[in-house]
Amino acid sequence: MAGRGGCRRGREQLELERLGEAARAGSCPPSPPLSACSRQAWSRDNPGFEPEEEGAAAAAAGPVLEMDVEWGSPAAGASSSLGSGAAGQGGGGGGGRRQQRRPPAGRGGAEVPGRHQVQPDGAAPHRAAWAKRLARRLRGLWGTRLMEESNTSRERYLKSVLRELVTYTIFLVVLCVLTYGTVSSSMYYYTRVMSQLFLETPVSKMEKTDFKTLSTMDDFWKFTEGPLLDGLYWEMWYNNKTMAENKSFIYYENLLLGVPRIRQLKVRNGSCSIPEDLKDEIKDCYDVYSVANEDTAPFGLRNGTAWTYTSEKDLNGSSHWGLIATYSGAGYYQDLSRTREVTAVQIASLKKNLWLDRGTRAAFIDFSVYNANINLFCVVRLLVEFPATGGLVTSWQFQPVRLMHYISTFDFFLAACEMAFCLFVLYYMVEEILEIHIHRLHYFRSLWNCLDILIIVLSVVAIGISIYRTSTVDMLLKKLLEDQNSFPNFEPLAYWQMQFNNIAAVTVFFVWIKLFKFINFNRTMSQLSTTMSRCVKDVIGFAIMFFIIFLAYAQLAYLVFGTQIDDFSTFQDCIFTQFRIILGDFNFTEVEEANRILGPIYFTTFVFFMFFILLNMFLAIINDTYSEVKSDMAQQKAEMELSDLIRKGYNKAMIKLKLKKTTVDDISESLRQGGGKLNFDELRQDLKGKGHTDAEIEAIFTKYDQDGDQELTEHEHQQMRDDLEKEREDLDLDRSSLPRPLSSRSFPRSLDDSEEDEDEDSGHSSRRRGSSSSGVSYEEFQVLMRRVDRMEHSIGSIVSKIDAVIVKLEAMERAKLKRRDVLGRLLDGVTEDERLGRDNEIHREQMERLVREELERWESDDTASQMSHRLGTPLGLNGQPRSRNSRPSSSQSDGIDGGGGNGGNNIHV
């Protein structure tokens, strides 16, 4: 009582000082610092805490203060001095033990007797308290399970995980809105109609050759003079009416931006060596394309950009990866016109003066269009490659990109999502920095942590590309509007847009994969990750064996079929083709026609080893590991999971909204229906139907069934009613929003515990007796501690008695084996005498001597057993010492051996 009185006086003094400081400062009073009463709240989470020992209270307050100060290092000294004062405010006794942590002397000339005294400067405690509050709030904002203490309870740990999961889910939704908001089905149809116009239109009405099937240079010029001009310049409506002057709208909807450009790359003559024997026959030699072999000399008319070389830097171009080689952004180019007639003249001039010759290795046709209906640009590149073997190979690239943003209402919504995404990236950057600061290099041992770093890096790169793209497109459009007869080079923007799309796709993929980090807290969902982690060594060993055989077959196929089958033309194509064979996609006819002997042998053996043997071995490794993981998880102790925490919060919310009955209401209704008596089966059946678990029902019934007859008497019935009424009153107080003061007898709840569920194990209603609904009373805490101590003592006594019984049974078993040995020798002696016809008198004397010795041994064993009974361990069935005869009967011996029957009054505790 003295301690509680001191606590109350300390709290009143604190309130007066806070009001005085608030009046002087003219601001709201700060949150009260920790007093001596706070050790009571701490004791609820630490059962080993002893409130009577003031020194233990001061020692217990130490780790809490260190954890608070850890996040506010500038205020560490002030916080420590305040913490030492808090230990001296609790009560009257033990003052010498509480002053273990004191502020340094000399600051005011004397030691500070309590934490609530204002120091001479006055501002230092205020700054320290402000820094602590700020650090606590920041820690709560970025609190994750990696920042939790190792001794944190499972429920609090899951709350951190749930909070992290909710935050991450919002981040995932924002990212998906951003990525899917910039992509639509219009992009596909846009690409489709443009490709049909330029790729599938025949070069003439008499020929079926289109861009995809071009084979000679003559076909190339037919394409440029026919389908290319028809597709680029739409100057007439279908009724022969003229469209707007100097403007071309492809399909009447897509504006041709600027003018198209045609460009070629050449290799110089003599770039390859000719054998000596053929130099007289072959005068010219043009090697395959490479930057070193590139021709930069003027040719043909030697005037204009079409006949003189222009570097990549002057063209502001970039390299392009074709089907045969990678080509630079330089070359000989010709910008076409905005009208069909002028463009036709330019193309005819190029064809007449042999613009394409033997040295040509690639020809590019570039142009860009814009569709205002869907706000999309389409950057088109048609590539014709002329390999050193002769002929040509065509490829194409249609890139629909959205370069102009923030036009429609949805665009502004996406802008808000972009801002939210940037804030999330900043939030996670700070979070990872804090976790790295706490765990140092151990942080990178987790694959999930490395994945977090990768997601942040990809997000920052995507943000940088988006900023560059937005700023560059404005300058490019401004330049285009100033000179509409120039070629708008959107190719770099299209390239960065493609990289942005790739990064966004990879980021979204990894963000979705990271959901397994949270789903793994469910035992069922964690089976996948556990299975993969356990079988990783076996899978690596299998992969080595698999790829040795796989690559051996790939080498064989490349060397045998590479010159005749397109799917085996390169080593990379061989690898992909073999994966397709494993999946069932193959063309056996081509393989057989390429080599009628090795083809079938290759195919048959590859399918046998790879599909029927190695693939089944891989499945066996996975299945065996999964079975082991499943059996191990079945033996593990069940822990609280995220689903349990969510269900618990849902039930609590439903009860507070009065949409669901509490356990108190269900038990009260069962008691009313039961009348005067209520047995366990009736209560269990009734409460099971209302959704309560067997553990809760058994705990409730065991608490009030004091005589253990599995039936509640009228007195026990009335006691349960009284406790239920008190429980209902406490629950009503919980539901009410009125503020209620803490009782001086109860432990105040800490900030972290204020949100914990009050209705857990609601059958134990007596825990609230004598306290408000916000805490556990000191008297109840002491009663529970004493009960736990008695239980531990009783369990220890029971265990020692069980050990004594086990030792006694082992001794009896050894004695029984000796008796069997003696009786066996006697029987053997009788049988031997009868067989040999020996003197019966001598035999009788030997038998009497052996039996007498055995009886003496039994009597000595009996005496030792009675002495152990007096010491008090083995007891009979009725709790009495076990009685023994001087000569145990055979039935008793058999009972001991079998553990059943009488068993010599089997030993029990």
Per-residue DSSP letters for 533-587?
Answer: HHSHHHHHHHHHHHHHHHHHHHHHHHHHHTTT-GGGSSHHHHHHHHHHHHTT---
Element (H, E) at 287: none
Looking from the CA of 635 toward its CB, the CA atoms found within 13 Å total 5
In whole angstroms, what is the distance from residue 631 CA to residue 530 CA?
12
Contact 868, 874 (CB under 8 A): yes
Most distant CA atoms of the chain, gap in Å: 147
Residue 307 gets which letter from DSSP?
A: T
Token couple for 285: 């030699």
CA distances from 270 to 78, 249, 287, 296 (A): 84, 46, 8, 14
Q: Identify the DSSP state of 889.
A: -
Gap between the Cα atoms of 79 and 126, Å rounded? 10
> CA of 325: how far to CAs of 265, 383, 388, 495, in Å?
12, 12, 11, 18
Ramachandran category for residue 903: left, alpha or beta (phi over 0 → left; psi -120 to 50 → alpha): left
Q: Identify the three-state secondary structure at position 875.
A: strand
DSSP letter string, 749-794: PPTTTTTS-S-TTTT-GGGGTTS-TTS-BHHHHHHHHHHHHHHHHH
Q: How far apart are CA 58 and CA 204, in angstroms?
A: 97
Cα dihedral sign for 647, 650, 655, 661?
A: negative
Please state whether the predicted TM-score (pTM) of the whole model is above 0.95: no
pLDDT digits (tens, 9 = 90+) for 122-161: 566 677 777 777 766 666 666 665 555 555 677 777 787 8
Please tell me the distance from the alpha carbon of residue 224 to that of residue 235, in angstroms, as a whole number.
17
Q: How far apart are CA 373 and CA 661, in angstroms?
A: 58
Give the torsion through C-alpha atoms of 459, 460, 465, 467, to 10 deg.
110
- Can you tell me the distance from the alpha carbon of 73 to that of 79, in angstroms, rounded to the nearest whole number? 10
- Residue 326: beta bridge partners? 321
How far is 679 from 105, CA to CA, in rounded Å? 69
Q: Please name every residue paired with 334 in a beta bridge, in sequence order, or none if there are none.
A: 262
* Tokens matching residue 644: 């349990």
Question: Kind of pairing, strands 376-385 and 254-266?
Answer: unpaired
Q: At what angle do helices 714-735 and 663-674 cross, to 10 degrees?
A: 150
Radius of gyration of the chain, Cα coordinates, nearest whole angstrom: 45
Per DSSP, helices labelled H in 201-317 are 217-223, 229-232, 312-315
Backbone region of residue 118 per phi and psi (left: phi > 0; alpha: psi in -120 to 50; beta: other values):
beta
H-state helical runs in 691-743: 694-704, 714-735
Nearest CA-CA partner of 802 in 642, 909, 716, 891? 909
CA distances from 807 to 760, 802, 859 (A): 43, 9, 19
The alpha carbon dihedral of 705, 707, 712, 717 has a sign of negative
Buried b (16+ CB within 10 A) or exposed e, 799-826: eebeebbeebeeebeebeeebeeeeeee
Kindly give, in sequence order, each residue whose CB lies less than 8 Å from that of residue 859, ignoring residues fewer than 6 positions away. 886
Cα 539–chain centre separation:
22
Q: Which of 128, 170, 163, 116 is nearest to 142 (CA)?
A: 163
Query: Can you list the residues of the chain whose pLDDT is less than 70?
Result: 1-125, 135-152, 244-246, 520-522, 637-640, 642, 660-680, 683, 687-696, 700-701, 706-710, 712-714, 717, 727-779, 833-834, 837-840, 843, 858, 861-909
Backbone angles phi, psi at 361, to 5 degrees: -115, -20
Q: What is the DSSP letter of 637?
A: P
Question: What whole-number distance in Å separates Cα of residue 421 and Cα of residue 118?
Answer: 46
pLDDT at 292: 92
| Gap between the Cα atoms of 96 and 54, Å rounded | 10
DSSP conformation class of 225 = I
Number of H helices and number of E strands within the chain?
30, 10
Question: Quick check: 259 and 347 in contact, CB under 8 A?
Answer: no
If phi > 0 it is left, if psi is from -120 to 50 it is alpha, else beta; for residue 216 that is beta
Helices (H), 657-713: 663-674, 680-688, 694-704
SS3 annotation, 594-617:
HCCCHHHHHHHHHHHHHHHHHHHH
pLDDT in tens, 771-799: 344 456 666 777 788 788 778 878 877 88
Place of tokens 């009463």: 37
CA distances from 296 to 37, 69, 300, 360 (A): 88, 71, 13, 12
